[in-house]
Chains A and B, each alone.
Chain A
Amino acid sequence: MRTLFVSFSLFSLLAFLVVLSLSFGAVSLSISEILSGFTPDSEFYFTIHEYRFPRAVLAVLVGAMMALSGALVQGVIRNPLASPDVLGVSQGAGLAAVVLMTLFPSVSIFWLPWAALAGGISAALLLWALCGAHSSAIKLAITGVAMAALYSSAVDFLMLTRPLEINNALLWLTGSLWGRGWDQVFMILPWLVLLPLAFWLAKRMNLISLGDEVATSLGVSIPVTRLSALAIAVGLTASCVAICGPIGFLGLIAPHLARRLVGGRHQILLPCSMVVGMVILLLADLLARTINPPIELPAGIMTAIIGAPYFLWLLLKTR
């Protein structure tokens, strides 16, 4: 009953935010103007169909994928403070992107998402090579955090030695939905095949949360489940980061809020995290666009403003 109520409220909130995202911005539009914006000869065609709508779609997709990725990582690491960041994927992607922007400024911006994607996936493969398939969750997390710190320091070094390029790099590293449109939506769509795979793992993840021994005695192969869950999380994070930059705290707080709303059963927790992720990112981008128009802040600043205090509160509470 509670689940039903929560999902109903979440979906209403999501629908409401989509409408708000379409109607507000530097120029406010009425409902009828929004609807007319979907026809090619309308005055608002660009604003709605080419700008706000694809951006809202992308916010929904990326919010869902980052949140799902966070829920998977928290599930297999068995720590609510974990997030895809502990795998070093976002930082690896960030390093690849910053290398491209600072050392090869003449390379077309077209290659940026591909470089970031390759960086993110390489970071995950490197972590796997360092830890092996049979290592404990805690070893994986600590190695991942160490690698992430290494990538971040390399990024800092590059930005400090090439000050002329840092504006673009900093902007990318904050994570933003600005300038993203249908092309980016189509780039991210193929990665949605990972969603059913994640749901298929839900039952085993419930058992993993009982502890490695119990789960093994109940017939779950820990290494296989962990590896598949982390691989899916890596794919989701890397594809999102490649397109929007590493939007901070999203993968951490969305699954956490969802856990408070619907509990820890992964069959419910995973979809609920996704919807919470959609709501957070849509809200963050809406605020970023409307707080002081025509200035567009990166959405990553907004998620950090919401996420950082929440994370602190979480840290103090779990002690």
Chain B
Amino acid sequence: MLRFLSAISIVFLFCFSAFSHAVTVEDSKGTFTLDYTPQRIVVLEFSFADALASVGISPVGIADDKDATRVLKEVRDVIGDWQSVGTRSQPSLEVIASLKPDLIIADIGRHESVYEDLQKIAPTLILPSRRETYEDSLKAAAIIGKVVGKEAQIQQRLQEHRVSMQNSAKQLPENAEVQFTVARKDSLYIHTANSYAGGVIHALGLQNPPLSRDDKQASRQIGLEQLLAINPEYLIVGEYTSPNVVDNWQSEPLWSVLKVARNKHVHRVNGNVWARCRGIMAAERMAQDLVTVLAK
């Protein structure tokens, strides 16, 4: 009888433990359920790698555009080696399949057209990344943490993140107007309050300068005259190439009229970190960059 009972209880415990691993979350395609803890994860955007690194998990494959340095250094230090699965825009599905993943994390903006194919390879969690705001990216990180069985860790990490951002905010000038831009060879793009960088700037107690045009676009190309119309207190230039358009503009008379030019408040940062990477560690790195250049 005792034997029978213990057998029953073992079976019961076994069922219970298997059941306890099942997680259900809402992703961009509806309800996503996973009844095991994934071990081999492939991520198709940098922000997802950031979320995994934040809870100490290493993905087996990343769509890193075949350039490992595009992954944030802080993330690389945590996750070690991975296999590239190609570009973020057109990842190689056969390489993903050859890695035999048990979870794929994809971006609704880029990978919706291959969602069915990804599902055939492994359960696919599809979340916004490309057009997401800062707050959205933290929500996505919380969902990822829950799916990989580290809900407590990710919540704690998010808590630490808020504290870290507040600490950075204390070292920054309050309510200063900071405009983030991306500089290419001959064009400049502003990232508005609706962009990811705009969200980080806001979270640090700084302000995105008001724009004359009332639109909800996250990014827009502007000319020098339009930059003068915005005339921010601080200009953060994320460089995709160097020399770039900002170097060309510096020789123009109009440039010297800018507040940022007169006060020498033009600061250059890594364009890859600021415009391509998103996530917990990326936001902390951006906050560090701002503290370095703007500290009171």
Contact = CB atoms under 8 A, between A and B. Distances in A.
Interface of A: 25-27, 46-47, 50-52, 105, 108-109, 112, 160-164, 167-168, 171, 176, 178-179, 181, 183, 289, 292-296, 298
A25 B94 contact: yes
B114 to A, nearest CB: 4
A79 to B, nearest CB: 35
Contacts of A179: 90, 93, 113-114, 117
Contacts of A176: 90
Contacts of B117: 50-51, 179, 181
Interface string B87-104: 101111111011000000
26 contacts: A25-B92, A27-B98, A46-B121, A47-B97, A51-B94, A108-B112, A112-B113, A163-B189, A163-B219, A163-B221, A164-B219, A167-B89, A171-B90, A178-B90, A179-B93, A179-B117, A181-B116, A181-B117, A293-B92, A293-B95, A294-B66, A294-B86, A294-B91, A294-B92, A296-B86, A298-B90
B84 A294 contact: yes
A171 B111 CA distance: 13
Given A25-B94, A27-B95, 17 more contacts: A25-B92, A46-B94, A46-B121, A47-B98, A50-B120, A51-B94, A51-B117, A105-B109, A108-B112, A171-B89, A179-B90, A179-B114, A289-B92, A295-B87, A296-B87, A296-B91, A298-B90
Contact of A164 (B87, B91, B218): B218
A257 to B, nearest CB: 28
Contacts of A112: 113
B162 interface: no
B112 A109 contact: yes
B259 interface: no
B169 to A, nearest CB: 27
Contacts of B120: 46, 50
B94 A27 contact: yes
Contact of B97 (A46, A181, A293): A46
Contact of A294 (B85, B112, B131, B218): B85
Contacts of A164: 131, 217-219
A221 to B, nearest CB: 44
B110 interface: yes
A102 to B, nearest CB: 10
Contacts of A46: 93-94, 97, 120-121
A112 B113 CA distance: 10
Contacts of B84: 294
A168 B94 CA distance: 21
B220 interface: yes
Contact of B94 (A26, A108, A171, A292): A26
Nearest to B83: A294
Contacts of A295: 65-66, 86-87, 92
A58 to B, nearest CB: 13
Contacts of B65: 295
Nearest to B61: A294
